[in-house]
Amino acid sequence: MFPKTTWFTPDLTLVVRDYGTAILFAMGAGSVREALDSVEGQVHLQVQREALDAIRRHADVSSVQKMRRMVWTGRPTPVPSLASTRLSLEDVPAIRHLYADGRSTAEAPDFFHPSMVDAGVFHGIHEGAALVAVAGTHLVAREEGVASIGNVYTRRDRRGRGLGRAVVQAVLSELVDIETVGLNVRADNRVALTLYESLGFADHCEFYEAIRPATTVPRHSPAAS
């Protein structure tokens, strides 16, 4: 994905342009203003508190959500508790239909793109023809030894039966050769946190997700500084 990225210093800040949006990651607050000014459209923020405060001083921010980033320790070794199916691009309509189950309660995964299925690892559990649980990856970069779990969802009327655990275990079973496997989870989602901790995930850091709404006129021009 390197050709899709732009980097800023000091305090390393990264802008990734992919999936129809721009995503900003910041290691500190020193370069977030310049990074934001480089993007005219909506920006999805994943930053720690210092950077979020710096962004708020000169840009509108919405949909702020406290998150926890977790990293898999590799223990216990994943053994799926229920049989699942490896999903492919042909399953994208069924995946989207399942995610639609969570729209009214704001539980649906909000960062899914078909290319993630094609390039990553997705597993699902069916009841008849219906897909009732799915887990996948946002990215898998085996050469760099990094993968990110995401897009985990169980249909609301099928929860409490171990389906979510089974599909996450199935995805992990295909990532055991990768050095760093991470995921992001809402800090107030106690059910998910308990599940991931039981699967061997440990806290890495707290951060914030937020949206910088689309703008066509940057508030600050780097050329003017």
Which of 74-78, 102-106, 139-143 shows the lowest mean pLDDT across its residues? 74-78
Task: Say whether both 111 and 162 belong to one domain.
Answer: yes
> Which runs of consecutive H residues, i.e. helices, occur in the chain?
32-37, 49-56, 92-100, 114-119, 163-172, 190-198
pLDDT of the residue at 8: 96
pLDDT in tens, 158-184: 999 999 999 999 999 999 999 999 999
- pLDDT of 134 above 60: yes
Degrees to nearest 5, angle at CA 44 with 69 and 204:
10
Task: Say whether both 83 and 111 belong to one domain.
Answer: yes
Task: Say whether both 153 and 215 belong to one domain.
Answer: no
Higher pLDDT, 80 or 167: 167
Give strand pairing partners of 190: none
Task: Say whether both 55 and 35 belong to one domain.
Answer: yes
201-212 vs 180-186, strand pairing mode: unpaired
Task: Say whether both 110 and 172 belong to one domain.
Answer: yes
- pLDDT of 224 above 60: no
Task: Say whether both 8 and 32 belong to one domain.
Answer: yes
pLDDT of the residue at 116: 94
* Residue 188 lies in domain: 74-199
Which of 24-38, 65-79, 140-154 shows the lowest mean pLDDT across its residues? 65-79
Task: Say whether both 51 and 87 belong to one domain.
Answer: no
Task: Say whether both 127 and 187 belong to one domain.
Answer: yes
- Cβ neighbours of 146 (radius 10 Å): 15
Task: Say whether both 105 and 42 belong to one domain.
Answer: no
Tell which phi-psi region holds residue 64, choosing left (phi > 0), alpha (psi between -120 and 50) or beta.
beta
Q: What CATH number corresponds to the domain at position 183? A: 3.40.630.30
Task: Say whether both 108 and 33 belong to one domain.
Answer: no
Distance CA 77, CA 99 (A): 28
Q: How many domains does the chain have?
A: 2
Task: Say whether both 114 and 187 belong to one domain.
Answer: yes
Residue 21 identity (one-letter amino acid): T
Q: What number is the average pLDDT over the span 198-215?
A: 92
Task: Say whether both 168 and 90 belong to one domain.
Answer: yes
User: Model's pTM, two decimal places?
Assistant: 0.86
